[in-house]
Structure formats: C-alpha cells, structure tokens
C-alpha cells in the first residue's frame, strides 16, 4: 500500500531534550516536506526537500533541522525543543512534477513541557 508513515504518532517530552520524528514514504517520491499545524494559524511549511541531499527552508524553520540521506526518509530533528514547538506535525511527499498531488502522513502530536 502506497503511504507516508510517521513515528512516533504521539510524543510528550521536556524542554531541551533532543528528539527526532521520522518520516518514510514508499512511493519513490523525490519531494518531501514537513508542516506544523496550530489552531488559528493553519498549516505552515517547516522544511522541504527536492531530492536526496537537497533541502530548503520553508516558512517557519527556526528550531528545526532536517536531513535527506535516502530518498524514502526525511526525519525532522528538534535539537532543543521548547514549549512553543508543541504542535501537530505532518510529513508529506510527492513527485516533483507540477501535475502531482501531495500525500500526507497521519501526523505526530508533540507536546513539550
């Protein structure tokens, strides 16, 4: 089954404790992206990647890191999480051609205390 998977689905952590949220897709998509969703602010893009070893900042990259060492994986790293990073995070992927739709993962609900 074609899908985007994220792990963990739920995470409660403390301020400053490094964490990684994994994202994996099995559709051979070149493009992958991370979003956060907050009440009243909607979905905002954090980082995106056009292909392996190619990443770029989205609208809200501060406090996040990403890497793209393999085509199927695009982990999101929070080196020193803070409470304002409490949010619902989504990973998405697609082919890079403009004709293609984006596929979203199920989301990761992160709480930083």
Query: What residues between 10 and 69 interact with other proteins by CB under 8 A?
Result: 31, 33, 35, 40-45, 48, 50, 56, 58
**Considering beta carbons, is residue 22 or 103 the nearer one to other proteins?**
103
Instruction: Assess contact for 25 and 94: CB atoms under 8 A.
Output: no
DSSP-assigned states of every residue in 51-105: ETTEEEE-S--TT-EE--SSTTB--EEESS--GGG-EEEEEEEE-SSTTPPPEE-
Does residue number 106 form part of the binding site for other proteins (CB under 8 A)?
yes
Instruction: Give the tokens for residue 77.
Output: 């790293």
Does residue number 85 form part of the binding site for other proteins (CB under 8 A)?
no
Point out which residues bind other proteins (CB under 8 A).
31, 33, 35, 40-45, 48, 50, 56, 58, 88, 90, 92, 96, 98-99, 101-107, 109
């Amino acid at each position: 089954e074609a899908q985007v998977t994220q792990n963990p689905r739920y995470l409660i952590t403390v301020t400053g404790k490094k964490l990684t949220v994994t994202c994996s897709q099995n559709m051979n998509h070149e493009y992958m992206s991370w979003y956060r969703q907050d009440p009243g602010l909607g979905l905002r893009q954090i980082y995106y990647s056009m292909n392996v070893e190619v990443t770029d900042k989205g609208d809200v990259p501060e406090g996040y890191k990403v890497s793209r060492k393999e085509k199927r994986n695009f982990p999101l790293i929070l080196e020193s999480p803070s409470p304002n990073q409490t949010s619902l995070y989504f990973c998405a992927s697609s082919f890079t051609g403009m004709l293609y739709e984006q596929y979203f993962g199920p989301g990761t609900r992160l709480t930083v205390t």
